[in-house]
Chain A
Amino acid sequence: MKNINETIRSLMESVAGLRAAIVIDSDGIPIAMEGDIEMEPQDLGALLASAFQCYQALGDSLSQCYCKLVCAEYDGLNVAQQMMPRGSLILIAEKSLPMGVVRLTANTGRQILTEAMETTAEARKKFMEKHKISLPKNPGIEDPTQTISLLSFLEKKKKG
């Protein structure tokens, strides 16, 4: 089965006009991202998650329990945010790609990704149970003295 990155990459390849595809978790933490966007993934994730939460809150007030999809049409882009278990899939498309196609692609992606997300959740759960969420070594940092936390930085600063 394809993983999350492979899935959104193949979505991008199969539909001409898609500029980017992003998967975020329910809090907006970016899980996977493909394509061309000039935004920090963290920033993008936080905005998208809060926008979706606003629509969910509106739905709650209208006695609707589940917001499935939010679409936004801009001057030069079409955006669809598709709800999934524990997160959402966002597709950003050129204006020339009809919104109907963007929605359909998002829905198709959701079905594939739902399975992938469940697999990820299970793997993560096992990983956490096994390692008590100890983290792997950061491969980019060979010298441990070069790593410093914000707390260490502030305490050293205070000592002068």
Chain B
Amino acid sequence: MKIVGDRVYLKLIFFGAALAGKTTALEWIFYHVVPDEMKLVKELRQVKTSFGQTLVFDFAPIEISPNVVTRMFSATGQDYYRGTRTKVLADSDGIFMVIDSQKKALELNRDILQEFEKCRKEMNGLSDAEIVVLYNKNDLEEIYPMDYLRENLNLQSWEGFSTCALTGNNLEESLVLMLKKLTSKLQKEGIHLG
């Protein structure tokens, strides 16, 4: 959380393994959930590789309340660019942990969660960030159920939803849960939203 002038800035990150659906989830929320009058930019800012994957980040600033701006980023999932991935995580207030529910992605999820845990220990303030898990790709057939992934990946301490970023299934609910958590955090600091 940062204050610049009369505005509070929150930072919200979509984090997860490559091709888990981080950018798709952010795109869905930005284009289908957030009303236009709360968007500070008309289009998502995307810094992509030549082959269409996120290079540094995707970025969308939205004004969730007068004087409170949430800057939403999706970090790159490509391991080749992991040097910039951890930079994007710094000073996050909220993190959507995007899990690829496909059976073949189980170890990729485990690896990224290990990296995330390492970051939480090493980066100041990250351990205080609110976390909501998106068990994504629930529209596919070869997937593990949410309960199995939660236990197998040791994610029991974080609330989550079974989601499909392509259709937006449960993404609005996930955002509402995250906003409630952030609102509660702000209220503890004496900031009240409309």
Residues of A within 8 A of B84 (CB): 50, 53-54, 57
B38 at the interface (CB under 8 A from A): yes
Taking a contact as CB atoms closer than 8 A, the residue among B4, B5, B38, B41 that contacts A43 in the complex is B41
Residues 4-54 (chain A) with a chain B CB within 8 angstroms: 25, 27, 29-31, 40, 42-43, 46-47, 50, 53-54
B175 in the interface (beta carbon within 8 A): yes
Interface residues on B, range: 35 or more
Kindly identify which residue among A43, A57, A128, A155 contacts B61, using a CB–CB cutoff of 8 Å. A43
Among the listed A61, A133, A148, A154, which residue makes an inter-chain contact with B189, where contact means beta carbons less than 8 Å apart?
Answer: A133
CA distance A133 to B180 in the complex (A): 19
B163 CB, min distance to chain A CBs, angstroms: 16
A124: chain B residues within 8 A (beta carbon): 3
Give the number of A-B contacts (CB < 8 Å).
113
Number of A residues near B (Cβ < 8 Å) is 37
Rounded to whole Å, the gap between the CB of A131 and the closest CB of chain B is 7
* Residue A111 CB within 8 A of the other chain: no
Binary contact track B18-58/A, C-beta < 8 Å → 1, others 0:
00000000000000011100101100010100000000110
List, in ascending order, chain B residues with CB within 8 A of A63's CB.
none
The one of B2, B40, B47, B67 in contact with A25, judged by C-beta atoms closer than 8 angstroms, is: B2
6 tightest Cβ-Cβ pairs between the two chains A and B: A147-B194, A149-B65, A149-B193, A151-B179, A150-B64, A42-B61
